[in-house]
Chain A
C-alpha cells in the first residue's frame, strides 16, 4: 500500500472534522516543494469576519509547527500544526485545543478590529458632516479629525466593548493556562517515553 493510504486512513479515524483532517493528510501526501491545500479554518466558514485562506503547506521533511505572517484582520500569526505519525491522545488533545483557540482568537480579533475601523470611519464621517467639511481635503487626501476629537470616539468605543473584553479576557486566561498545562503534560509524557525503553533495556 502506498504510504499516503496510511495517512488517509489515520485521518479517517479522527473523531472530529474528518474532512478537514483529510485535507491536512492530503496536503502532507502531496507536499514536496509546496502545495496549495490548506485546512480551511472553521472561523471562516462560520463567521462574517473574513480572513484570508492560507495556502501554506509546510515541506514534507519538516517535523515542526510553522508560524505565518500576521493576519491582515486579526494581526495574529496563524500556526500550522504538525501532526506526528505517532501522535498520542494527549498530544492530539493539545493540538486540537491550540487549533480551536487559534480560530477563536482569530474570530474575536478580526471582528474587533474590523468593527473598530468601521465605527471609526462612521464617526469621522459624521463629525466631518456636522462640521460641514468634505470627506476629502483640497489635496485629495482623506480628511481626518485631530487627536482630541478622536479621543471621544476612543473613549466611547472602549466603554462600549468593556463587557465583551471582560468575557474575552477570562476565556483567554483560561485557555492560555490550559494550553500551557497540556504542553507541560505532553513534555513530561515525551520524556517518560524516552526514558522507558532505556529502563526496559537495563532491566532485561
Chain B
C-alpha cells in the first residue's frame, strides 16, 4: 500500500475491513467528488446517515491520527433529499433490513463493499467537517421535548395569565431595552386598579367583599390574557417582546390554554356575580368578551383597537367601585374615565418604538398608520387627565386637596405629552411611557389619601 494519508484509515481497520476501505479510498480519490455528503457525526452521535449509505460508494470521510481531513462539503444539495424520498418502498425496506444488524456501535461493514460499505467511527474519533455541522448540532440541542412537567405548570400558567408586573424573561436586547407591554396588560395591574376602585368607593370597607372581588377579577383577567395569547401565537412569535410566551415556546398546548382560561373565567365570573353582585359579574364578563373577542382581533383590522383597549383598561376600577357600592354612579364613571385617559399616553408612547414590528406583523396601530393622530391623542388625554382630577372633588370622590397635590405630576405628564407631540422621536416617546408607569399608581395613591370621608361637607353629589 502506498504511504499516503488516505491509507491511514486502513491501518486503523485491519484485515479484510481495512482492505475494503482502502479499495474505496482509491476509488474516491480518483473520482472527483460531484455530490456532497453529510459527514459522520462525532462521538455522541455515532450514526451514519441513511444518505451516506447510498453515496458511500462514491465517497466518505476518513480520520487521520492528528488532523481532520476535510474532503467533502457537509451540507447535502437539495437534490439529494428528493432522491431519498423517491426511493421505492421495497428498496428502502431491503436497505433497512441490511442496516439493522449494524445497529450496535461497533466497527462493522456490510457484506457488499462495492455497494454498501458502512463505516462506523471509532469511539475516540471525531469526525466533523465544518462549522455548519457544529451549528446543526447546537441547533439540535435546542429542540425540547413537549412534555408537560407538573412542577413547571404554575410558572407557565402565571406567564400565560400575565400575572407578574415585570413580564416574561426576554433575552437582552441591544441597544435599548424594549418597552415591555406586559408591564401594563397584566393581572397584577388589573387587580390593583380594581382594588383602588373598591377602596375609593364611598362605602365602608368590607374585607370579605374585597377579597371576593380581588379573586374574581384576578381570575377573569387570567382568563382573558390566556385567550389573548391563544389567539396570537404566530404573531407573538414574530415580535421580540412576546416571543418567550408559553404557547409560542410550546410549553403548553392550545387546548390546555383554553381549558385553563375556561377554568378561570367560569369561577371568576361566578364569584363576582354571586359572591359580590350581578352588576360586577356582568362587567367582568363583558370585559373578558371585549378584550378577547373585540380588542384582540381588532388589533389586526383597524386602529379603533386602541380605543377599545382603553375601555378594557377602564372597566376594572369601575368593577371595584360597583363591588363596594352596588351601583354605577358618577364616581365610578370618573374613575373609569381617568383610567381610560391614562391608557392613551401610555400605549401610544409604547407603540411608537414598535412601529417596525407592528408593520411587519400586520398590526393596525395609530403609530404606524396615523402618526400625527397618535401623538395628538396622547397629548389630548394627558390634558383630560388633568381636567378629570379637578372634577374628582366636584363629584365627591375626593377632597379639593387632591387636584392641588396631583397638579405637579399631571403637569409633568402633560409636558412630556407635549414634547412627544412636538418632537415625535423615540426619546420623547420613551420618556412619556416610563412616566406613565409611575404616574398612575401615584395618582391612585393620592386619590386614596384625599378620599372624601363619609359625613364630610361636599360641594358635589349629596351623601347617600
Write the residues of chain A forming the contact surface with B, with a CB cutoff of 8 angstroms.
2, 4-5, 8, 12, 18-20, 22-23, 26, 29-30, 32-37, 40, 45, 53-56, 58, 62, 64-70, 74-77, 79-80, 105, 109, 112-113, 116, 147-148, 150-151, 153-155, 157-159, 161-162, 164-166, 168-169, 172-173, 176, 179-180, 183-184, 187
Contacts and interface: CB of A to CB of B under 8 A. Distances in A.
Contacts of B30: none
B234 A105 contact: yes
Contacts of A34: 41, 44-45, 47, 140
Given A20-B85, A70-B243, 12 more contacts: A19-B85, A35-B47, A58-B145, A64-B145, A67-B146, A69-B139, A80-B143, A155-B371, A166-B300, A173-B231, A176-B231, A180-B230
A58 B93 contact: no
A159 B303 CA distance: 12
Contacts, number: 177
A71 to B, nearest CB: 9
B47 A180 contact: no
A19 B84 CA distance: 8
Interface stretch (B7-15, B357-365, B451-459): B357-365
B254 interface: yes
A68 B355 CA distance: 28
A56 B70 CA distance: 23
B364 A158 contact: yes
B139 A30 contact: no
Contact of A79 (B47, B81, B250): B250
Nearest to A159: B369
A147 B51 CA distance: 49
A58 B143 contact: yes
Judged by DSSP, the binding face of B is helix
B90 to A, nearest CB: 10
A153 B82 CA distance: 40
A75 B87 CA distance: 32
Interface in B361-389: 362, 364, 368-369, 371
B329 interface: no
Nearest to B41: A34
15 contacts: A29-B100, A30-B47, A30-B50, A34-B41, A34-B45, A35-B50, A36-B41, A68-B144, A105-B234, A116-B359, A151-B368, A154-B355, A161-B362, A162-B364, A169-B301
